[in-house]
Amino acid sequence: MPVNHYEWSWGGPLPELLRHSEVKHSLLRDYLVDYFLTLVASPRQDKIQLTVVDGFCGGGRYISEAGLEMPGSPIVILKAIEAAKTRVMVEQQRRKDITFDVKLICIDKDRSAIAHLRHVLEHEGYGKHLATGAVELHVGDFSSKAEAVIAEVQRRSPRSGRSLFVLDQYGYNQVPLPVLNQIFSKLRQAEVVLTFNIDSLLNYLNQTNVARFERKTGMTDAVSAADMDKHQRGPGWRVRVQASLYQRLTQGSGATYFTPFFVRPDKGHGDFWLLHLSKHWKARDVMASAHWRHHNHFVHYGAAGFDMFSTGYAARIDDEDSPQVAFEFDDAASKASRNAMLDQIPAALAASPDGVRFKDFFVDRVNSTPVTEAMFEQAVLALVREREVEVVGDNGSLRHVRTALQADHVLRIPQQRSLILLPPSLSRA
């Protein structure tokens, strides 16, 4: 079972923040700023309201590998809120203030972590937030507190249920599937950022403890006892079991859209998933854009285009005996993605002679691709310039689009080209 190496006592030595956790914090900060900026799309808006839940919040401060004091996730979240507000005021050239009605609920089962966090918050100037209830601290187990937290989100935002759950569990069994299901069934606009330590799970699981893992997490039928039998494991079992667990976790979460990206820490700490789960494709797109800005630490296993991970990923794409080159969200990965899309888009459109709406084409593939909507749009525009794809409006008339596509633009293979692409028997008919 995973052990918790984090211990806080005010005035005592701080736990070390490893480099990959630093990167995780940068991603969280960037994502939150983008998230707030998308929430305040209009300069006329004068308020946004949401609840952020840091379900495994820790003690609020660390020491980095280089010996510097570093903020923990609650401070990262609060600073991101301030940075986003400043950017909204400047970028929208506002004269009128905007109210960020954000409540931060922090939960940790370790009483000394919460006590330490209280000191850190006061020390960092957030004492007023504690006094007004804008920041709440709770000692306890996240999944036992989840129902009350969901009720609080519903009380604050009855229609939207707008909320972000940061669930940075240390291992893999502290956020059971039924809890994720409750979040997504009760809160229309909830998002979850979930850490799942896949390598330590695979090291731990064996024939005798699979059933216990299933009972604790609700992740049934993803792993069989035979999968865990050291004598029966064929080549690639680790990758196969990962894919199966990934499917079970994402499909069983109640969310509709996910980012299938992994973190591969240096120094051999084992891969973990940093999954973003939501019910809106746009939210996934904002998270995918943040991943592209933090390349080198985030990898995914799969091809570059639209068929990256999804169900067939394990057997076809990766094999631990001949591991593929990691896809690292860098320039090379961006070029590979574009090249793959330039082949895959016309091939997919050839199967739909009436064409497919721009938005539908992307959203249908969003869970199995590392590309963002903007990257997809650029690839389509390149194909339009090459006359490999044409764009038509609602009424079927051709559109001469050069710079920007709209959600309801229909993409199709140019009529003459599609005749050439048809098999000879059909094109003669």
Distances (CA, A) of 80 to 36, 277, 296: 9, 20, 22
Segment interacting with ligand SAM, rule: CB under 6 A, options 45-53, 105-113, 292-300, 408-416 = 105-113
CA neighbor of 357 nearest in space, from 399, 322, 317, 386? 399
Asked if 78 contacts 104 with a C-beta cutoff of 8 angstroms, the reply is yes
Burial class for 242, CB neighbours closer than 10 Å (0-12, 13-18, 19+): buried
Comparison of 24 and 103: residue with beta carbon closer to ligand SAM = 24
Q: Is 47 helix (H, G, I), strand (E, B) or coil?
A: strand
- Nearest to ligand SAM of 54, 318 (CB atom): 54
Which one of the spans 125-133, 155-163, 168-176, 198-206 is the region binding ligand SAM (CB under 6 A)? 168-176
Does 58 contact ligand SAM by CB under 6 A?
A: yes
The nearer residue to ligand SAM, 170 or 281, going by C-beta atoms, is: 170
Q: Which of 52, 78, 107, 340 binds ligand SAM (CB under 6 A)?
A: 107
Report in angstroms how near the CB of residue 298 gets to ligand SAM at its nearest.
17
Distance CA 379, CA 367 (A): 18
Stretch that binds ligand SAM, among 102-110, 298-306, 337-345, 361-369 (CB under 6 A): 102-110
- Which position among 10, 170, 204, 281 is part of the footprint of ligand SAM (CB under 6 A)? 170
Could you tell me if 282 and 359 are in contact, meaning their C-beta atoms sit under 8 angstroms apart?
Answer: no
Asked whether position 108 contacts ligand SAM by CB under 6 A, the answer is yes
The tokens for 251 are 């499909």
Closest-CA residue to 378 (of 354, 357, 362):
362
**To the nearest whole angstrom, how small is the minimum distance from the Cβ of residue 95 to ligand SAM?**
37
Please tell me what DSSP assigns to residue 397: -
Among residues 113, 149, 153, 413, the one that binds ligand SAM under rule CB under 6 A: 113
Residue 56 lies near ligand SAM (rule: CB under 6 A): yes
Count of residues touching ligand SAM (by CB under 6 A): 17
Instruction: Single out the segment in contact with ligand SAM by CB under 6 A; choices: 55-63, 218-226, 331-339, 421-429.
Output: 55-63
The DSSP bridge partners found for residue 192 are: 165, 277
**Is the CB of residue 120 less than 8 Å from the CB of residue 127?**
no
Contacts with ligand SAM by CB under 6 A lie at: 4, 6, 56-58, 72-73, 107-110, 113, 141-142, 168, 170, 174
